[in-house]
Amino acid sequence: MKVYNNISEFSPVPDATVTIGTFDGVHKGHNKILNRLKEAAREMNGESVLLTFYPHPRMVLQPDVRVEMLNSQREKIKLLREAGIQHLIIHPFTIDFSRTESATFVRDILVNQIKTKKLVIGYDHHFGKNREGSFEYLRELAHVYEFEVEEISALDIDDVNVSSTKIRRALKAGKPKQAGEYLGYNYEVTGKVVEGKKLGRTLGFPTANIKPEADEKLIPANGVYAIKAHVNNQTRYGMLNIGEKPTVSNAHEITIEAHLFDFNEDLYGRDLTLSFLKRVRDEIKFESPEQLAQQLKADHEAVKAMLNL
């Protein structure tokens, strides 16, 4: 898959078959659109093109509202590559760009720059200034500019009963398994391992403190989770705590700390991707390090039993 960080970087390809959207999560509902896009491209002997935007439009149009994303840019690119998309255009979304009239968007971007031969979109798709562009308007312009447009029906999309909103709710409720069923893969958080206070190490459970690579990344509900990670080309299982640090004080900083089973290598400064498997328990505030140590031992046994390790 070729990735372009601006529409201006893209050179037209034969019979471009295009879709547009944010595709946050790249979940099962999105895959309905992506699979049809690839199928349509094959039918035309063309190439698949996905046009998306960064930052997310709501981050630009509603800067005072915190937007939590299911994917970082790197995660989304990885998922779309695995989905088999041939060309990914990530165009900068700005206030000026948001003012682009729908007719101008179709003429200048879809037709003149991308040379769209077929456009595949999800139902109820809107675009352009104030989301004024609709599927019906696209059909009118498609006739003018001689490209095809196809809408994935509500029935096809709703058949998988998935939405980004449902996934967010599941994660906020501490239900990563349910979220994974909606996504079609385990929810992941990628970040750099940073220095911590090493409290876990003194208790016999060294942890990797993760700083997510994207500030807008949605972090699941506080608590302890069963996880897996890929380290040195190996899969390692472990447990992860999301909560206030340290839990024996009154601090309110949310931290992500992972303890990988049977692993004691230095990970500082490295990127680590953690997959959420199941939630073990709620966050607990402990009165002493001794109580925390006892609970960590119990969590260790609970996760190993849960994962049949």
At 249-278, the pLDDT tens digits run 555 578 999 999 988 888 889 999 999 999
Query: According to the model, what pLDDT value does residue 29 have?
Result: 87
Query: According to the model, what pLDDT value does residue 205 have?
Result: 80
Using omega within 30 degrees of 0 as the cis cutoff, is the peptide bond preceding 55 cis?
yes
Q: Which token pair is 225?
A: 């989770």
174-306 shares the fold of 2-162: no
Using omega within 30 degrees of 0 as the cis cutoff, is the peptide bond preceding 246 cis?
yes
Find out whether 202 and 192 touch, Cβ atoms under 8 Å.
no
Q: Which residues contact 143 (CB under 8 A, 6 or more apart)?
A: none
Segment 112-142, tens digit of pLDDT: 999 999 999 887 666 666 666 677 888 888 8
Give the pLDDT band (50/70/90) at residue 207.
confident
Q: In this structure, which topology does domain 174-306 adopt according to CATH?
A: Elongation Factor Tu (Ef-tu); domain 3 (2.40.30)
Q: 54 phi and psi, to 5 degrees?
A: -150, 135
User: How much of the chain, in percent, has pLDDT values that exceed 70?
Assistant: 89
Report domain 2-162's class. alpha beta
Find out whether 33 and 17 touch, Cβ atoms under 8 Å.
no
Give the pLDDT band (50/70/90) at residue 155.
low
Query: According to the model, what pLDDT value does residue 252 have?
Result: 59
User: Vertex 272, ends 271 and 277: CA angle to 5°?
Assistant: 160
Structural domain spans, the chain:
2-162, 174-306
Write out the DSSP string of 144-164: HHT-EEEEE-HHHHHTT---H
Q: Can you name the residues that pair with 48 across neighbouring β-strands?
A: 17
Average pLDDT of span 92-121: 93
User: Vertex 102, ends 98 and 105: CA angle to 5°?
Assistant: 75
Query: According to the model, what pLDDT value does residue 129 have?
Result: 63
Name the pTM for this structure. 0.89
Query: According to the model, what pLDDT value does residue 195 have?
Result: 79
Token match 């190439």: residue? 47
Query: According to the model, what pLDDT value does residue 284 have?
Result: 84
Q: Count Cβ atoms within 10 A of the Cβ of residue 121 and give its class: 0-12 exposed, 13-18 middle, 19 or more buried.
A: buried
Query: According to the model, what pLDDT value does residue 161 have?
Result: 63
Average pLDDT of span 224-234: 90
Q: Which token pair is 300?
A: 């260790």
Average pLDDT of span 64-69: 91
